[in-house]
Amino acid sequence: MAYTAKDGYTTEDLLHFGYGHIDAARALFLDDPAFLDSAGYLAHLGVEVVLKAWHLAWFGQFENTHDLVALLGALKKKDKSLNIGNDNEAFLSQLDKFYLLRYPRKKGDAVEVGSDQLKHLNALLDALWAKMPKELVETYKKIDRTRKGGRVLMRKKIDGEKDAERIVETKKDTPAAQ
């Protein structure tokens, strides 16, 4: 099954959500080791959604798949010059397995994930960003970080706090590592 703009999907939303998942994954990779499964899963999800934004831009649709290698492969088939390097392709294959981190695995069938993989994730993302079509780069740069999916993002008042505040917009020209 394929999804299109007629189904309500936009490249802007896909980029916003994808890089949002990636930012959350980065934060979790740098925090408690107990969060590594979530970090790995969110890293997979973020890259998947970014690649699907690229598919929507180039093909007018994206497939209902979670296979990162296949998503990149379809892009490479359209543009033979799309080369992210052997190391990044190898990490993409490893990242593909992180989809399995969303549920516990039976013993002996574990998916390994560690904080050291953040550097590989950042290298992969930098390589993808360098090859990303200009229209997607421009779309990303125009994203209002205080609005997402038709919502206004804000911190709501919690007992003991003075006021609710709207999340301060931070303009990011690239989704590169912080």
Round to whole Å and give the CA distance between 2 and 42: 22
List all residues 6 or more positions away from 15 whose beta carbon is below 8 Å from its beta carbon: 49, 50, 53, 136, 139, 140, 143
Q: Is the pLDDT score of 178 beyond 50?
A: no
The parent domain of residue 99 ranges over: 2-166
pLDDT score recorded for residue 174: 64
Structure tokens at 58: 């180039």
Token pair 């939303």 is found at 13
Tens digits of residue pLDDT in 6-65: 999 999 999 999 999 999 999 999 999 999 999 999 999 999 999 999 999 999 999 999
Task: State pTM to two decimals.
Answer: 0.89
| Within-domain flag for 39 | yes
Tens digits of residue pLDDT in 127-161: 999 999 999 999 999 999 899 988 998 877 777 66
| Within-domain flag for 173 | no
pLDDT score recorded for residue 118: 97
Round to whole Å and give the CA distance between 112 and 124: 18
| Within-domain flag for 172 | no
| Within-domain flag for 177 | no
How many domains does the chain divide into? 1
pLDDT score recorded for residue 20: 96
Tens digits of residue pLDDT in 67-103: 999 999 999 999 999 999 999 999 999 999 999 999 9
| Within-domain flag for 88 | yes
Q: What is the CATH number of the domain that holds 155?
A: 1.20.120.330
Token pair 């994930």 is found at 113
